[in-house]
Amino acid sequence: MKPRGGQAGGAPRIRRHYRAEGEVQGVGFRWTARRLAEECGVCGLAENAYDGTVRLVAEGRPEEVRRFVMLLGMQFPEADIAESGPEERARGLEGFEIR
């Protein structure tokens, strides 16, 4: 998968930041995020934060990013996944990195 920033299939790609709280460390959350991101055509990253949360960055078409977050929430219903910043233009990330 090599989506890049800008236009993909006629739709502008966006970048969104999320913070996941709750039971999200030590339960395969980041690995599941990567699998779902790949299925949804989303690029980005997931990394553990020192406060026990997981930081997510997702780039893709708006509907791809929404689907990714929805599916991740369905896989981890105990997690609270919330936006943590404004929508931005995609920066051209490739793949989905786990940190």
**Residue 64 in domain:** yes
The pLDDT tens digits of the residues spanning 42-90 come to 999 999 999 999 999 999 999 999 999 999 999 999 999 999 999 999 9
**Could you say which of 13, 15, 16, 30 is catalytic?**
30
Task: State the average pLDDT for the chain.
Answer: 91
Residue 23 is predicted with a pLDDT of 92
Lowest model confidence (mean pLDDT) among 7-11, 17-21, 23-27, 57-61: 7-11
| Displacement of CA 98 from its chain's centroid (Å) | 11
**Residue 1 in domain:** no
Number of domains comprising the chain = 1
Distance CA 89, CA 13 (A): 7
**Could you say which of 4, 19, 35, 48 is catalytic?**
48
Residue 30 a catalytic site member = yes
Q: What mean pLDDT is predicted for residues 17-32?
A: 96
**Residue 13 in domain:** no
Residue 67 a catalytic site member = no
Distance CA 72, CA 32 (A): 7
> CATH number for the domain including 87?
3.30.70.100
25 near 54, Cβ under 8 Å?
yes
